[in-house]
Amino acid sequence: MAVTERSSITDDLGDDEVQATRAASAASVDDESTNPPNDAHLQRHIAVLKDKIAARYRQGKKQRKGDGDGDSSPAFISYFDDVDFHIRSSILDGSITEPFQLHFKGPTLEAEIKTRERARRQLIRENILSRKLSGGGDDRDGDDAQEQLQKEVPFDNSPLPTSFSGLYVATWMAVGLSVVKFVLDYYWDSHHRFMQWEVVDTMTTGLFRVAAMDAAMYLATYVVFSVQWLCKHRVLKWYNAGWWIVALYEPLFVVAFIYINDQVLEFHWIARIFLFLHSLVLLMKMHSFAFYNGYLWSIHNELQEDRASLARLQDIAAVSDDKAIETTRSTLNKSLEFCRFELESQSIGGVSFPQTITVKNYFMFTMFPTLVYQSEYPRTEKIRWHYVVEKLFAIFGTIFVMIVTAQVFMYPVVLRCTAVRESQWTSWFERLVTWSGLLVDILPSFIAIYLLDFYLIWDAILNCIAELTMFGDRYFYGDWWNCVTWDEFSRIWNVPVYKFLLRHVYHSSISTLKLSKQQATFMTFFISSVVHEMAMYVIFKRLRFYLFCFQMLQLPLVAISNCAFFRGKPIIGNVIFWIGICIGPGLMCTLYLTI
């Protein structure tokens, strides 16, 4: 995934628009002049800038700094426009937890209904009184008048403000009591104490060795920081040695630790997958840090070259009246303005690049719950320790529920799956029938594990880390449960990874490899599918490509969900989406275990 970010993001324009913009820009330059001044080095620099400017500027829109002052030059597209960070809470906290803790007052529906009834009765009385005062009342047809008033003053049927906070409490109470029952039943059936459970025994084996290896992986990421630090002190140049060191080190980092954890240290599968997933997190952090600063190195060098070129141009202008000089000066000034903006927008408290490359800055980035590096992030004012304690209880409570679910419901089915795999092969049909039965048995528990895993990682753990580091942006996931297409799910299920893929895979493949948006989408899904298949290999030690195929199947499914039949039918789309979510994980597990 070592892709060089050498130019700005072009996703704001379509493929045809990008080509048209590039052609228009080149044509406008050619109309004004055929060649820049007769200086070979300057000519090469201007030729490079022409392509960059075509991709950087939106035609027909004003520049950021020129808005409102009559400047009609096009606005440029910053490399940093694709990903934004703001102070915001997570969805579950903002929609459920915080309203429950801060605004819960018990039942409110009855009081609201009575308030509306009283208001309606008051309106009816006022209507009757006004009729009598105006002389329009008639006692002989009072029933008809009352019926007429009922029609004239209808009951307020607007939606009532309701709260389901009590069901929130009841749900967790039901989960807790069910877990207690399952633990007791399992103990009386197997006579195994909790610490003797196979799942618990596997998880707790070699904890200190796993922690030591995790620390070693983290320290190994400082190789990438060292490369940037050496570039800062002019020992290395990024686009010579620096780029190649990082590009070779990143895949070596992942492959080496997969081999060490499996073949040398012989960790169990839970430790292997934990370390593999954490190595991917560290890989993405390394890549983002390296190529973010690599991009700024290119901008920094371009700025220096622009200044030197303007100085040379000044010397040429003193002895020549070539009309191309003004065109060249305009091109250099555009580049100069863009480079200044990019560097200034990433400065920290007046400290600009490359002085932002410090150990403290890198260390804090590795602690933040994000995979996309930038020099500054929105921060909260203080740590809410009661919130940290709440999330710690959520973390360990959820892990306990997952252990019980895995041991009581999933582990027996897994044993049956491995028995089928090791049994004598008879026929595809017989194995398929057996596999279907195992799939039905494992689905309910796998759905529970899937949802608990989501809550554990993306809400409990990431919010706890964010609070401890005072990281302000808690948008780690969207309302993925409402998805109607798979492309929506890929964007909002795991927002940190999506942001990384958006900037460092999708946009980089467009700007560097000159791919179309469709080709860049395919590449992004392909890389994601390869990594998911690697995870399956780490767990099962089997290379079957089941998950790879199902991941790539999302591309045609997205096309189908966007066809005319499904467009405008969000309920059908959401039902189909949930069928995939409920069946998919269990399907993958049983396939890898049995076939």
Residue 155 pLDDT level (bands cut at 50, 70, 90): low
Q: Which of 504, 516, 48, 506 is nearest to 298 (CA)?
A: 48
For residue 38, name the pLDDT band (cuts at 50, 70, 90).
Answer: low
pLDDT at residue number 192: 80
Residue 336: CB atoms within 10 A of its CB come to 17
DSSP states along 500-517: HHIIIIIIHHHHTT---H
Q: Report the chain's C-alpha Rg in angstroms.
A: 31
Q: Which of 45, 86, 233, 532 is catalytic?
A: 532
- How confident is the model over 172-191, as pLDDT tens digits? 899 899 999 999 998 898 88
Mean residue pLDDT across the chain: 85
Averaged pLDDT for residues 482-505: 95
- Under 8 Å between Cβ of 383 and 470: yes
Give the pLDDT of residue 132. 66
Query: What pLDDT does residue 152 have?
Result: 62
For 448-477, what is the mean pLDDT? Answer: 96
Looking at residue 138, what is its pLDDT? 52
pLDDT at 226 > cutoff 70: yes
Distance (Å, whole) CA 24 – CA 389:
59
Residue 514 has pLDDT above 70, yes or no: yes
Q: State how far the Cα of 50 lies from the Cα of 335, in Å rounded to an integer.
A: 9
Helix (H) or strand (E) holding 57, with range, is strand 57-58
The closest alpha carbon to 522, from 507, 544, 508, 506, belongs to 506
Alpha-carbon distance of 351 to 373, in angstroms, equals 17
Q: How far apart are CA 317 and CA 314, in angstroms?
A: 5
From the CB of residue 332, how many other CB atoms can be counted at a distance below 10 Å? Answer: 23
Please check whether residue 76 is in contact with residue 338, taking contact to mean a CB–CB distance below 8 angstroms: yes
Are 83 and 371 in contact, with CB atoms under 8 Å apart? Answer: no
Nearest-angstrom CA–CA distance, 323 and 316: 12
DSSP 498: H
Tell me how far apart the 2 most distant CA atoms of the chain are, in Å: 109
pLDDT at 257 over 90: yes
Reply yes or no on whether 532 is catalytic: yes
Flag whether pLDDT at 4 surpasses 60: no
- pLDDT at res. 35: 54
Report the DSSP beta bridge partners of residue 88.
Answer: 473
Which band of pLDDT confidence, cut at 50, 70 and 90, is reported for residue 21?
Answer: very low
Residue with the two structure tokens 């990594």: 531
Average of per-residue pLDDT across 70-88 = 76
pLDDT for position 73: 47
pLDDT for the residue numbered 31: 39
Return the pLDDT at 318: 65
Give the phi and the psi of residue 166 in degrees, each rounded to 5: -65, -35
More confident residue, 582 or 104: 582
Q: What is the pLDDT of residue 351?
A: 85
Tell me the mean pLDDT in the region 106-115: 82
Query: pLDDT tens across 520-579, in order?
Result: 999 999 999 999 999 999 999 999 999 999 999 999 988 888 888 888 889 999 999 999
More confident residue, 508 or 324: 508
**Tokens at residue 452, please?**
């608990």
Domain spans in the chain, listed from the N-terminal domain onward: 164-192+392-594, 206-367
Of 77 and 361, the structure prediction assigns the larger pLDDT to: 361
Of 42-46, 445-449, 509-513, 577-581, the one with minimum mean pLDDT is 42-46
Residue 69 has pLDDT above 80, yes or no: no
pLDDT of 133 > 80? The answer is no
Q: Which of 90-94, 103-107, 153-157, 517-521 has the lowest mean pLDDT?
A: 153-157
On the question of pLDDT at 70 being above 50, the answer is no
Distant-in-sequence, close-in-space partners of 345: CB < 8 Å, separation ≥ 6: 78, 80
Q: What is the pLDDT of residues 233-250, one digit of tens each?
A: 999 999 889 999 999 999
Mean of pLDDT values over 188-213: 91
15 pLDDT more than 50: no
pLDDT over 90 percentage in the chain: 57
Question: Which pLDDT does position 281 carry in this prediction?
Answer: 98
Closest C-alpha to 462, from 360, 371, 362: 371
Distance CA 31, CA 211 (A): 65
